[in-house]
Chain A
Amino acid sequence: MTWRIASQLALSGLSVGSIYAIVAVALAIPFKASRVLNFAQGELVTLGAYIALLLTSCGIPYAVMVPGTLLIAAACGIALERLFIRPIIGAPEFTLVIATFAIGLIIRALIRIHWQDNVFFLPAPYAGPALAIGSLRVNPAYLVMIGTTAGLIALLALFFQRTRLGKAMRAVATDQTAARLMGIGVNMVFGSAWALSSAIGALAGLLLAPVIGVNPELGHVIIKGLVAAVIGGFGSLGGAVVGGLLLGMLETYAGAFFGAAFKEIIPFAILIALLLVRPQGLWGATQVRV
């Protein structure tokens, strides 16, 4: 394998991986805050793409459409949390897992009813012919994915380190009761965590849509996000990012060497193997089970 092919593969692995990383981060934020793993996150990605489609078809320019989509998605996240998650927040894990699954099923079915199984094209100003960088040929959409992910992570790091809300979220994640005693509105933090994660999910939809088209199956990316989150150890944002990138690279190289079937199976093989051997993730500390 020449250097050129290797780096070409690395680039596409990184770009796919950055989408996984975004989804994994979106999964990790509400999980950290409220111990709820949102199995409807994939459908929030799909929803983001369709909101973007709707706004674009209204003739709204791209520069306005993107923040608009993120805001609408955040509002959806708040609504979901308030209506369905808050009433069952202390329920057994079974209830939470199945409830979020059901929410995803409903969203996907509603999208199917309205748009059917058609694949729509979402125009993006950066879409265009492949750029030539040295001897590499690069799809500009890939560069946008990698760049956006890097920007998102930097912003999130700032958010959690510097802002009041970010610190409040970290406090709630560490100890809910103590946070409540310190005067932090825990319910408000839950709501914001869902808003943030829905907006991040929609961002993944925005990035994916110009590459693979807007369709109801877009949400399937959640599985990869879950695997990425498991690799990184649940609830660790840095781990989620590394896990996503690692998974993207692994998948791309495995596909190139061993064929498509292997590429399909590898995320799940990793998922099952890791959960059975190291459920705390590659870097997580061993938990003491009581």
Chain B
Amino acid sequence: MRAVTNGAIATLAVACVALPLFGSSYQIYLAELIFINIVAAIGLNLLTGNCGQISLCHASLMAIGAYTTALLTTRVGLTYAAALPAGTMVTTLLGASLGYPARRLSGLYLALVTLGFLEVVSIAIEEFPELTGGVRGLKLEQPELAGWPLSIGVLYYFVLGVTAFAIYAGWNIQRSRFGRAFNAVRQSVIVAQALAIPPERTKLLAFCIAAAFAGLAGGLFTAVVGFIDPTEFDVSASLRQITFIAVGGLGSVLGSVVGAVVLTLLPEMLRGAKEYSDVVYGAILLGTLVLAPKGIVGSLTLLSGWTGHPKARSS
């Protein structure tokens, strides 16, 4: 089983690296969108799937990353390679400023606070048009990656590299002391405390990590799409990201990847019926929650008895 999985991963990796050689520019763009969604989903999954904290504002953290990166390149004149980490950092700080007061909350109340945060961010974007372009959006001129311009190929490999790093980082965070602390806090705050895990600090850390991934995804989104406006980051965007992790599998990095890939490709396959895409998304999400709450990866793990999934081992 392990050999088959490794083979599949190797084949996929080769396909990802070779894509610009044979793919059309649209396929490359689509692959980049998938990568961005993977980055965002991994962050959200660490927060929601592992730490058990509902967040409805992941899309607005992504918006903060996207706008900060865009403004740093266009207004301040930083290169993209410098603006992206700076944007990620700003998003992490803002995520921390939300996470710090919200660290005592959970469940429904946290859902409401994050929903409020989402609305505040979208109002702020719309109310400062001279900075953010307001509802008309913000266009990013062809960015420079530290010296040489971001051509399609360079951008693709850059996004691919960042995504690979994000998957690696997400994987390691999940299997580190902190990732195990997240799982403990989700399963029982009391047990976590008995194991000398401070729940509030752990939740705050999960918030910051999720915000960092969202900011990174937002910064990549800016460069790939070249145009950002507030409708990209509304509550249905947050819900889409939640769909990625719920359908892929909560609490699993592989689940985030699978969910993001499947659900980014799906609307493309349904392009003949574009107006149905929200219905399909909603139906898939609802169907998963009601019928297969463990998601694709969780269900497959149950079927095959493969123990690579942390939840399968613990339960």
Contacts and interface: CB of A to CB of B under 8 A. Distances in A.
Contacts of A146: none
Contact of A261 (B123, B278, B289): B123
Given A88-B290, A109-B278, A272-B117, A94 B239 contact: no
B200 to A, nearest CB: 12
Interface stretch (A57-65, A100-108, A126-134, A236-244): A100-108
Interface string A153-190: 00000000000000000000000000000000000000
Interface of B, helix, strand, loop or mixed by DSSP:
helix
B115 A94 contact: no
Interface string B104-120: 01011101110111011
Interface in B76-101: 101
A275 B119 contact: no
Interface residues of A, number: 37
Contacts of A113: 275-276, 279
B298 to A, nearest CB: 13
Contact of A106 (B105, B119, B282, B289): B282
A268 interface: yes
Nearest to B121: A268
A272 B60 CA distance: 15
Contacts, number: 105
A119 interface: no
Interface string B246-290: 100000000000000000000000000001101101110110011
A271 B285 contact: no
Given A264-B127, A268-B119, A102 B239 contact: yes
B289 A88 contact: yes
Contacts of B48: 94
Contacts of A272: 113, 116-117, 120
Most buried by B among A92, A102, A226: A102
Contacts of A227: 116
Contacts of B279: 106, 109-110, 113
Contacts of B117: 268, 272
A134 B30 CA distance: 64
A102 B289 contact: yes
Interface of A, helix, strand, loop or mixed by DSSP:
helix
Nearest to A264: B123
A105 B246 contact: no
B120 A276 contact: no
A230 B278 contact: no
A282 interface: no
A213 interface: no
A276 B105 contact: yes
Which range contains the number of B residues in contact with the other chain? 35 or more
A45 B107 CA distance: 25
A98 interface: yes
A94 B290 contact: no
B282 A271 contact: no
B278 A105 contact: yes
Contact of B290 (A87, A106, A279): A87
A91 interface: yes
A104 to B, nearest CB: 8
Given A98-B54, A109-B275, 18 more contacts: A91-B289, A94-B107, A95-B293, A98-B239, A101-B239, A102-B285, A105-B278, A106-B279, A106-B283, A108-B278, A109-B279, A113-B279, A230-B112, A261-B123, A269-B120, A271-B112, A275-B113, A276-B113
20 contacts: A37-B108, A88-B289, A88-B293, A91-B293, A92-B52, A93-B54, A94-B107, A95-B289, A98-B54, A103-B286, A105-B285, A106-B279, A109-B278, A109-B282, A110-B279, A223-B119, A226-B112, A234-B108, A261-B123, A271-B112
* Nearest 9 CB-CB pairings of A with B: A109-B278, A106-B282, A105-B282, A93-B107, A271-B116, A102-B285, A102-B286, A268-B116, A109-B279
Interface of A: 37, 84, 87-88, 91-95, 97-99, 101-103, 105-106, 108-110, 112-113, 223, 226-227, 230, 234, 261, 264-265, 268-269, 271-272, 275-276, 279
Interface of B: 48, 52, 54, 56, 101-102, 105, 107-109, 111-113, 115-117, 119-120, 123, 127, 236, 239, 242, 246, 275-276, 278-279, 281-283, 285-286, 289-290, 293
